[in-house]
Structure 1
């Protein structure tokens, strides 16, 4: 007769278990779990023993099993529209630096500025029973909205603000940023001002709206000097749109670009065809990417607080996951106008 023994310390797959790691390290399973999750409260010496035991056994954490055992996961889902934009890389690094020491895994999803892709990512990640959601902006499908509301998972929105919605959000006013861009260029004596935007996510449209409002108030708005395209933002596209604008409107004397890479492309094309910046045309970017201050001429730009947004959003999330209310649910991180040679 064949007998079967149910040993909770082993898996039928033969893969090593957390209990085996704990035994080899001489610690409790709880301590082993905390050490492998990177929780800072575990003593350095014990954490090192656990890591060595895990390496020796070739142990790999099974997040699904851990979630099933504890009835909740230790993961936080972060959805961003792009992983090629330094804006979001800086934000993700900050989020990771806050959540990882507390033992949370960060699950990153890139939805490529697509509502449908974001909805699919949300549906897939919800199967992991995440502890929290960190989402970019407020523009998403109705199905995604219902999924978020019905999940009862704590959620923090990044990059945009909406005090009226009763949501937890960390960001800055895109409209005010656009207004600031217009006021700066007008203060430089510019009167034929254009706006060039690409990608056309909600934030690009909002900063364009702020720019437009300021120009209208000053009596300087010309709808023909507004160029928008859904194509992905890039240096090459910026140069292309700059040349197209000048071909149709050679009288332009200032341009606000919705992203720094577009503005950088314009600077390169201006140098190539002999247009003096800012003597003939003032150029202002947005986001203040690290390379902008090294352009020739140095690019003026609106610096966005991407690292601070990620850090404060993650801190809000920790508060919510602990079951507490956030004292200041709408955190305006502001922005800075970096005035350099191009304006």
Structure 2
């Protein structure tokens, strides 16, 4: 009767000991070879990799983390996965971290501070190698959980020069002011602002809008329409029609996000309003399809992929005990002028 190794018998999976035995090396040599350590003799490394492939060996990340006392997971908290903005960011994070041996673990907060706090309480006790969070708007309890965990953390999409804060983002306020000034430069004087979701970054864009209009002596609070509903094309159409009824003399609308701007543009076309002749329309984020609207949508192109890459690079440095550059990195955005303005 053949007796198999206990670990193999109990789990049914190929173990590191199986690979080591097949390659004729010790388990520690097999482990070092599979990690790609250069101290392993090339011939031994070749035998280990061939044995691992032949046996179908898949490393156990939990066991590896326990043995090395080092996690390979990075917790990434984003508000939504249905927003292309955060999908682009996550793609860049993955492409940066994965080749370095780290696996992003995604948590979705749904713009809910209590849900973010629950995610932190759930995952931080597992000691992830690092943490990427969106913005700075969170409960004091959540902030303390991050600080007390000792896990390296980088904030994304917003910037702060507060001591000890690592962050990568761009000025939402200045971007909002930039697109408002563009509308003013095109001769518009009754510029409305329509917003949804109303997260901190949206409200910073609103602040930029107000600053630009105050500077021009043209600010009118009645030209603002702020909805807490989730951003969507259908909502954009409704907000446009409601604002038009309230302020029929408006000659431009700055929408806080491209999807509601697309809805507003579709509503204007449906109502027979010439764009940009009768009314100019602008969005924010340069989402997919904005360049295909009729007319193509003027917007702000935000550096979400660049934020993901730079934030992940900064976190890699922090996890390795170094910070190769400044703790606060402010990236550039771009005004994309198309035919809607």
Question: TM-score, length-normalised on structure 1?
Answer: 0.89
Matches within 5 A, 1:136-155: 136-155=134-153
Partner of 1:297: 295
Q: Is the alpha carbon distance of 1:20 and 1:263 closer, same or farther for their aligned partners in structure 2, counting shifts above 3 Å?
A: same
Q: Report if aligned partners of 2:16, 2:31 keep a CA contact under 8 Å in 1.
A: no
Farther off after superposition, 161-170 or 173-182: 161-170
Q: Is the alpha carbon distance of 1:233 and 1:24 closer, same or farther for their aligned partners in structure 2, counting shifts above 3 Å?
A: farther
Aligned equivalents of 2:24 and 2:216: distance in 1? 73
Compute the displacement of 1:125 (Å): 1.5
Q: Is the alpha carbon distance of 1:112 and 1:21 closer, same or farther for their aligned partners in structure 2, counting shifts above 3 Å?
A: farther
Compute the displacement of 1:51 (Å): 7.9
Compute the displacement of 1:52 (Å): 7.7
CA deviation string 1:77-118 (max 9, x = no partner):
111101111111111111111111111111111111111111
Q: Is the alpha carbon distance of 1:228 and 1:71 closer, same or farther for their aligned partners in structure 2, counting shifts above 3 Å?
A: same
Q: Report if aligned partners of 2:14, 2:55 keep a CA contact under 8 Å in 1.
A: yes
2:162 counterpart SS class: helix
Compute the displacement of 1:164 (Å): 3.0
Q: Is the alpha carbon distance of 1:80 and 1:54 closer, same or farther for their aligned partners in structure 2, counting shifts above 3 Å?
A: farther
Partner of 2:193: 195
Aligned equivalents of 2:18 and 2:74: distance in 1? 27
Q: Report if aligned partners of 2:34, 2:49 keep a CA contact under 8 Å in 1.
A: no
Partner of 2:228: 230
Which one of 300, 304, 307 corresponds to residue 305 of structure 2? 307
Q: Report if aligned partners of 2:76, 2:131 keep a CA contact under 8 Å in 1.
A: yes
Partner of 1:160: 158
Partner of 2:243: 245
Aligned equivalents of 2:305 and 2:23: distance in 1? 37
Aligned equivalents of 1:90 and 1:155: distance in 2? 20
Q: Report if aligned partners of 2:30, 2:45 keep a CA contact under 8 Å in 1.
A: no
Q: Report if aligned partners of 1:67, 1:129 keep a CA contact under 8 Å in 2.
A: no
Aligned equivalents of 1:278 and 1:48: distance in 2? 66
Q: Report if aligned partners of 2:133, 2:153 keep a CA contact under 8 Å in 1.
A: yes
Q: How many residues align?
A: 336
Partner of 1:264: 262
Aligned equivalents of 2:256 and 2:23: distance in 1? 54
2:35 counterpart SS class: helix
1:167 counterpart SS class: coil
Partner of 1:208: 206
Compute the displacement of 1:165 (Å): 4.3
Q: Is the alpha carbon distance of 1:25 and 1:257 closer, same or farther for their aligned partners in structure 2, counting shifts above 3 Å?
A: farther
CA deviation string 1:282-334 (max 9, x = no partner):
11100001311111100000000011111111110111111113421111111
Q: Report if aligned partners of 1:25, 1:49 keep a CA contact under 8 Å in 2.
A: yes
Q: Report if aligned partners of 1:302, 1:336 keep a CA contact under 8 Å in 2.
A: yes
Which one of 307, 312, 318 corresponds to residue 316 of structure 2? 318
Aligned equivalents of 1:18 and 1:67: distance in 2? 14
Aligned equivalents of 1:291 and 1:209: distance in 2? 27
CA deviation string 1:164-194 (max 9, x = no partner):
3441111100110111011111001111111
Structure 1 unaligned spans of 5+: none
Aligned equivalents of 1:8 and 1:339: distance in 2? 67
- Verify: 1:63 aligned to 2:61, yes or no: yes
Q: Is the alpha carbon distance of 1:23 and 1:116 closer, same or farther for their aligned partners in structure 2, counting shifts above 3 Å?
A: farther
- Verify: 1:283 aligned to 2:286, yes or no: no
Partner of 1:186: 184
Q: Is the alpha carbon distance of 1:313 and 1:23 closer, same or farther for their aligned partners in structure 2, counting shifts above 3 Å?
A: farther
Question: TM-score, length-normalised on structure 2?
Answer: 0.90
Give RMSD over aligned pairs.
Answer: 2.9
Partner of 2:76: 78
